Amino acid sequence: MKNVLIPTKLNPVAAEMLENNNVNVVQEPDTELTELAKQYPETQALIVRSNKIGPEIIDAFPKLRLIIRAGAGYNTIDTKYARKNNIDVMNTPGANANAVAEEVVALVLGHYRHLVRGDNTTRAGEWEKKKLMGRELTGKTVGIVGLGNIGQLVARRTSGFDVTVLGYDPVISENRAEKIGVKLVDLETLFKESDVVTLHVPETEDTAGMVNRDLLELMKPRATLVNCARAGIINEDDLRAVKSEKEIGFCNDVYPSDEPGEKSVADIADLMLPHLGASTEEANANAARRAAEQFLAYSEHGVTKWVVNKSVPDGLDEAYQELAFQLAYVARHLLGSNKSVNRVECAFYGDLQQYSDWLLPPIVAGTSPEFESQDEFEEATDFAKERDIDLHVRDTDESKNYGESMTVELFAGDEKMQRVSIRGTITENNLVISRINDFDQLYFLPQGYSLLAIYEDRPGVLATITAACGEADVNIEDIRCPHDRSGKKSIAVLKTNKAAPRKVINRIKQEVNAETVCSVALPQH
419 lies in some domain: yes
Distance CA(109)–CA(86), nearest Å, equals: 46
Looking at the fold, whether 109 and 251 belong to one and the same domain comes out as yes
Looking at the fold, whether 238 and 160 belong to one and the same domain comes out as yes
Q: Determine what percent of the chain is predicted with pLDDT higher than 90.
A: 71
Task: Please determine, for residue 456, whether its predicted confidence score (pLDDT) is greater than 80.
Answer: yes
Look at residue 410 in the predicted model and tell me its pLDDT.
94
Can you tell me whether residue 450 is helix, strand or coil?
A: strand
Q: What is the pLDDT of residues 56-78, one digit of tens each?
A: 999 999 999 999 999 887 888 99
Confidence of residue 341 (pLDDT cuts 50, 70, 90): confident
Task: Please determine, for residue 404, whether its predicted confidence score (pLDDT) is greater than 80.
Answer: yes
Looking at the fold, whether 240 and 288 belong to one and the same domain comes out as no
Look at residue 372 in the predicted model and tell me its pLDDT.
66
Looking at the fold, whether 456 and 520 belong to one and the same domain comes out as yes
Looking at the fold, whether 55 and 167 belong to one and the same domain comes out as no
Q: Whose CA is closest to 82, among 62, 65, 60? A: 65
Work out the average pLDDT over 309-331: 87
Looking at the fold, whether 111 and 245 belong to one and the same domain comes out as yes
Looking at the fold, whether 132 and 228 belong to one and the same domain comes out as yes
Task: Please determine, for residue 40, whether its predicted confidence score (pLDDT) is greater than 80.
Answer: yes
Work out the average pLDDT over 81-85: 90
CATH of the domain at 490: 3.30.70.260
Q: What is the pLDDT of residues 104-118, one digit of tens each?
A: 999 999 999 999 999
Confidence of residue 525 (pLDDT cuts 50, 70, 90): very low
Q: What is the mean pLDDT of the chain?
A: 91
Task: Please determine, for residue 348, whether its predicted confidence score (pLDDT) is greater than 80.
Answer: yes
Looking at the fold, whether 469 and 501 belong to one and the same domain comes out as yes
Find the DSSP H helices in 229-307: 236-246, 281-301
Domain with 122, as residue range(s), is 97-272
Work out the average pLDDT over 7-11: 93
278 lies in some domain: no
CATH of the domain at 430: 3.30.1330.90
Q: What is the pLDDT of residues 116-158, one digit of tens each?
A: 999 999 999 999 999 999 999 999 999 999 998 899 999 999 9
CATH of the domain at 18: 3.40.50.720
Q: Whose CA is closest to 58, among 71, 73, 76? A: 76
Work out the average pLDDT over 315-342: 88
Supply the DSSP string of 46-97, one letter for each residue: EEESS--B-HHHHHH-TT--EEEESSS--TTB-HHHHHHTT-EEEE-TTTTH
Task: Please determine, for residue 206, whether its predicted confidence score (pLDDT) is greater than 50.
Answer: yes
Looking at the fold, whether 457 and 418 belong to one and the same domain comes out as no
Q: What is the pLDDT of residues 407-428, one digit of tens each?
A: 999 998 755 568 999 999 999 8
Q: Determine what percent of the chain is predicted with pLDDT higher than 70.
A: 97
